């Protein structure tokens, strides 16, 4: 690949939790060279195990064009950000915490050597502008927001800030819709972007209904599945997203818009405080 072609071949991912592992997987399945950075050897081992489980499952179902081992061979898990120096795209997929993301983007700006590399965030709600302005290259910073489970869901939200260069957005679109085979939609840099700005108030409304005793979790979800043709009920969906993530997005939306429909119900806060985060903790509105 020549420097001028800007074809994406080398991708970095920071974080190998549920979202980071999924992002790494779809890139490796697309034939791209992937480096994943985790915070510790233990976290890297857990991320590798998560990737292996997902890829073995896909292989068993006949959904891989090659072996799981061949895909895994294109993923390198490390604990040092310096390993991202030659990446053409770096996707941040760490905890949904503004201070942590801002600190990471400062470090990525110093580490990634390609001046045209895209520094992207998978944030669900944090303004991209706040991440771009802490770098010396805000024109190359944008949101590339995948959806869980990443290997299954085709949508990606492309979120430029006011300072993102149009060329950066178009390169991101070519990367997402080309090798990754996803479908991209354009979003303004507003809390929640498109999907979560519509989805989270709906989920919060279901939580309030359950909290008030209006209906059981099972009946709320069955009502939407059987009565509105939703593939999954809102409380089961909250468990899948992670109740801590639902709360973080709700707080970001409320902070920006001050609309009551974005305010997190007390029950949600109590469940997060108790560690009842949904599928990833084994218990939320349902037990797993």
Phi, psi angle pair for 75, to nearest 5°: -115, 125
Alpha helical stretches, state H, the chain: 18-29, 41-60, 68-72, 98-111, 128-132, 166-177, 195-211, 217-228, 234-241, 243-257, 266-273
CATH number of the structural domain 195-280: 1.10.1040.10
183-186 β-sheet, strand order: 75-78, 33-37, 10-14, 89-92, 118-121, 141-146, 155-160, 183-186
> Where do you find CATH 3.40.50.720 in the chain?
10-186
By percentage, how much of the chain surpasses pLDDT 90? Answer: 94
Q: What tokens does 219 get?
A: 């009946």
Work out the angle at residue 96's Cα, subtended by the Cα atoms of residues 222 and 7, and round it to the nearest 5 degrees. 100
- Those residues whose C-beta lies under 8 Å from the C-beta of residue 153, and which sit 6 or more positions away, are 146, 147
Q: What is the CA radius of gyration of the chain?
A: 19
Every domain of the chain with CATH number 1.10.1040.10 lies at: 195-280
- Tens of pLDDT, residue by residue over 61-91, are 999 999 999 999 999 999 999 999 999 999 9
DSSP state of 283: B
Among positive and negative, which fits the CA dihedral 148, 149, 153, 158?
Answer: positive
Residue 1 has pLDDT above 80, yes or no: no
Quickly list DSSP for 223-249: HHHHHH--SS-HHHHHHHH-HHHHHHH
- Please list the active-site residues: 124, 145, 157, 196
Residue 6 is predicted with a pLDDT of: 66
Burial classification of residue 54, based on how many CB atoms lie within 10 Å of its CB (0-12 exposed, 13-18 middle, 19 or more buried): buried
CA separation, residue 61 to residues 65, 74, 231 (Å): 11, 21, 21
* Angle of the 41-60 helix axis to the 18-29 helix axis, nearest 10: 50
Q: At what angle do helices 217-228 and 234-241 cross, to 10 degrees?
A: 110
Asked if pLDDT for residue 44 goes beyond 60, the answer is yes
158-205 pLDDT, tens digit each: 999 999 999 999 999 999 999 999 999 999 999 999 999 999 999 999
Q: Using CB atoms within 10 Å of the CB of residue 119, give its burial: 0 to 12 exposed, 13 to 18 middle, 19+ buried.
A: buried
Question: pTM for this structure?
Answer: 0.91
pLDDT digits (tens, 9 = 90+) for 92-120: 999 989 999 999 999 999 999 999 999 99
Can you say how many angstroms the Cα of residue 24 is from the centroid of all Cα atoms in its chain? 11
- What CATH number should be reported for the domain whose range is 10-186? 3.40.50.720
């Amino acid at each position: 690949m020549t420097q001028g072609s800007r074809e994406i071949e080398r991708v970095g991912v920071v974080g190998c939790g549920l979202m980071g592992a999924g992002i790494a997987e779809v890139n490796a399945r697309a034939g791209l060279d992937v480096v994943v950075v985790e915070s510790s050897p233990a976290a890297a081992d857990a991320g590798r195990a998560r990737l292996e489980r997902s890829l073995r499952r896909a292989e068993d179902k006949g959904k891989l064009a090659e072996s799981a081992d061949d895909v895994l061979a294109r993923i390198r898990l490390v604990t040092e950000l310096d390993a991202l120096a030659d990446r053409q795209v770096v996707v941040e997929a760490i905890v949904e915490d503004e201070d942590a993301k801002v600190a990471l983007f400062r470090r990525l700006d110093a580490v990634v050597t390609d001046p045209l590399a895209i520094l992207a965030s998978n944030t669900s709600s944090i303004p991209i502008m706040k991440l771009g302005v802490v770098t010396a290259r805000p024109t190359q910073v944008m949101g590339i927001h995948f959806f869980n489970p990443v290997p299954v869901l085709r949508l990606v939200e492309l979120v430029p800030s006011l300072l993102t260069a149009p060329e950066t957005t178009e390169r991101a679109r070519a990367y997402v819709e080309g090798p990754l085979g996803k479908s991209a939609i354009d979003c303004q840099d507003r809390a929640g972007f498109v999907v979560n700005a519509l989805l989270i108030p709906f989920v919060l409304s279901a939580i309030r209904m359950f909290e008030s005793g209006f209906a059981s979790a099972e009946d709320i979800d069955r009502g939407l599945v059987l009565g509105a043709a939703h593939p999954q009920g809102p409380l089961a969906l909250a468990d899948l997203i992670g109740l801590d993530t639902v709360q973080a997005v709700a707080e970001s939306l409320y902070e920006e818009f001050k609309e009551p429909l974005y305010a997190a119900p007390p029950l949600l806060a109590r469940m997060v405080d108790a560690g009842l985060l949904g599928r990833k903790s084994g218990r939320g509105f349902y037990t797993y």
